[in-house]
């Protein structure tokens, strides 16, 4: 308990602290609830941040672990780094930033467990549950740390986006995880054996690497979501180590929310979690080169022709993909949509759950361009509307609109729910080339009779369309 307060206050402080922890927990729960909609997500973040601020301030009175000066210094330095990243990082790099945050969260939990172990010379003072919590916090936290940085490397291009694997890798990963859990049990039985702790740490760091390198680029949204869940579970384990109820609750909320989101992502790809982790179907970032088949003809369009088509349409649906993010074309998309709306054209956005490189990537990107939240329609909402849509503008998307998901039982994306853009009267694909998507398969939509290709950089193509609309 804090030594900076009078004894009269210290006497009633424990109950007051628990009350404030309960208030902070309520803020967390409310914040998570508000995150279920883009229109309330910002308010949800504010609620959660307020809850965290309450928790940090109260904990300063609850514990006297180090000097206040060091804590304040850490808060200032961390806050400045966070502020700099928030201001500097482009929306296109947001998946990489989220991966790093997940990694640091896991590392923090592992360090907390190690710190508690190091500052207690009488290690036998920990009960079995406490020792198991320490082991699990180190295991999950270290795994999350290295796994998240491998994901960061894949997303940023430092590491190949290919599924890097070799015979027996899955067996090694499963065996290492089982062995680590066994070592944690042995550590709880013999906590004086410090070598066990370092072996657990080392294996956990290695498993984080070997469990993410075999996952290809197509599965990155699921990986990001799963690692986020891991960071929450690690935090909850750290809460058990510290006997801090708020940390347990907040970690459990993050862990549960991450697992739910991971399940949603898996359903969006019609795949099980085990299939994502051990299936390894994704290819390098940006897909393979792809070569035009001489027997397949495409219909190309120009900015002027497309401007006429969309200007006189009744309904236009925009389907964004990662190519939109790479081209940083979200603002010009908004300008095009605004011009069409001023002409009486109904414009909506069809968002696939796994479009982009992290959950909600397209929503965040378009929100930055001030696209109204009510125009962002998820897959289940927009699919029935394609039959009454005149033109669909597909910008940088590939696998999420590939009809092979419905027709080719032998393909890697078969069964994956897609945006049924082929039901529309006309589709226009903005793309640099006919290259394949992350799943590594060609897209027959490109060669369909009612499809047109607009080749080139998405931003430049949209700028040309925007200018052409002035002449219609």
Coil, strand or helix: which one is 349?
strand
C-alpha to C-alpha distances, 168 to 160, 201, 450, nearest whole angstrom: 20, 22, 46
- Residue corresponding to tokens 């190519």: 323
41 in Cβ contact with 34 (< 8 Å): yes
418 in Cβ contact with 403 (< 8 Å): yes
**Alpha carbon distance 407, 421 (integer Å):** 15
Residue 318 main-chain phi, psi, to 5 deg = -105, 125
What six digits make up the tokens of 9? 């206050």
**Alpha carbon distance 27, 49 (integer Å):** 8
**Alpha carbon distance 284, 454 (integer Å):** 24
**Alpha carbon distance 389, 428 (integer Å):** 12
* Neighbour count for residue 302 (Cβ, 10 Å): 13
Residue 346 main-chain phi, psi, to 5 deg = -80, 120
Q: Which of 399, 408, 423, 457 is catalytic?
A: 399
Q: Which of 233, 219, 275, 284 is CA-nearest to residue 102?
A: 233
Q: Does the annotation mark 62 as catalytic?
A: no
Q: Which of 46, 58, 59, 52 is CA-nearest to residue 78?
A: 52
- Active site (catalytic) residues: 399
């Amino acid at each position: 308990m804090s030594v900076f307060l009078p004894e009269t206050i210290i006497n009633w402080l424990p109950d007051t602290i628990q009350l404030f922890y309960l208030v902070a927990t309520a803020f967390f729960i409310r914040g998570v609830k508000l995150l279920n909609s883009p229109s309330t997500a910002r308010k949800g973040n504010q609620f959660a941040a307020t809850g965290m601020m309450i928790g940090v301030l109260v904990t300063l009175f609850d514990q006297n672990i180090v000097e206040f000066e060091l804590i304040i210094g850490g808060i200032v330095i961390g806050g400045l780094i966070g502020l700099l990243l928030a201001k500097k990082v482009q929306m296109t790099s947001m998946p990489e930033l989220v991966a790093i945050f997940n990694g640091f969260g896991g590392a923090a939990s592992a360090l907390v467990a190690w710190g508690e172990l190091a500052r207690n010379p009488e290690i036998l003072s920990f009960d079995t549950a406490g020792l198991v919590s320490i082991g699990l916090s180190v295991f999950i936290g270290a795994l999350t740390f290295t796994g998240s940085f491998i994901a960061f490397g894949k997303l940023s291009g430092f590491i190949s986006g290919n599924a890097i694997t070799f015979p027996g890798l899955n067996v090694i990963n499963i065996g290492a995880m089982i062995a680590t859990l066994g070592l944690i049990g042995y550590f709880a039985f013999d906590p004086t054996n410090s070598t066990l702790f370092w072996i657990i740490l080392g294996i956990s760091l290695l498993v984080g690497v070997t469990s993410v390198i075999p996952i290809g680029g197509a599965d990155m949204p699921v990986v990001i979501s799963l690692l986020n869940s891991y960071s929450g579970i690690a935090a909850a384990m750290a809460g058990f180590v510290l006997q801090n109820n708020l940390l347990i609750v907040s970690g459990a909320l993050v862990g549960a929310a991450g697992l739910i989101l991971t399940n949603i992502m898996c359903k969006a790809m019609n795949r099980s979690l085990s299939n994502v982790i051990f299936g390894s179907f994704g290819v390098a970032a940006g897909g393979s080169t792809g070569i035009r088949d001489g027997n397949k003809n495409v219909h190309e369009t120009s900015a002027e022709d497309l401007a006429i088509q969309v200007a006189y349409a009744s309904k236009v649906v925009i389907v964004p993909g990662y190519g939109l993010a790479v081209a940083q074309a979200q603002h010009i998309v908004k300008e095009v949509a605004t011009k069409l709306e001023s002409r009486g054209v109904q414009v909506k956005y069809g968002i696939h759950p796994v479009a982009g490189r992290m959950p909600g990537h397209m929503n965040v990107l378009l929100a930055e361009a001030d696209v109204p939240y009510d125009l962002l329609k998820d897959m289940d909402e927009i699919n029935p509307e394609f039959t009454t849509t005149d033109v669909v503008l597909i910008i940088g998307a590939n696998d999420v609109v590939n009809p092979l998901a419905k027709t080719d039982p032998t393909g890697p994306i078969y069964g994956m729910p897609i945006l049924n853009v082929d039901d529309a009267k006309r589709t226009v694909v903005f793309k640099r080339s006919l290259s394949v998507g992350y799943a590594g398969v060609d897209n027959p939509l490109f060669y369909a009779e009612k499809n047109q290709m607009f080749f080139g950089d998405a931003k430049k193509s949209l700028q040309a369309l925007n200018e052409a609309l002035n002449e219609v």
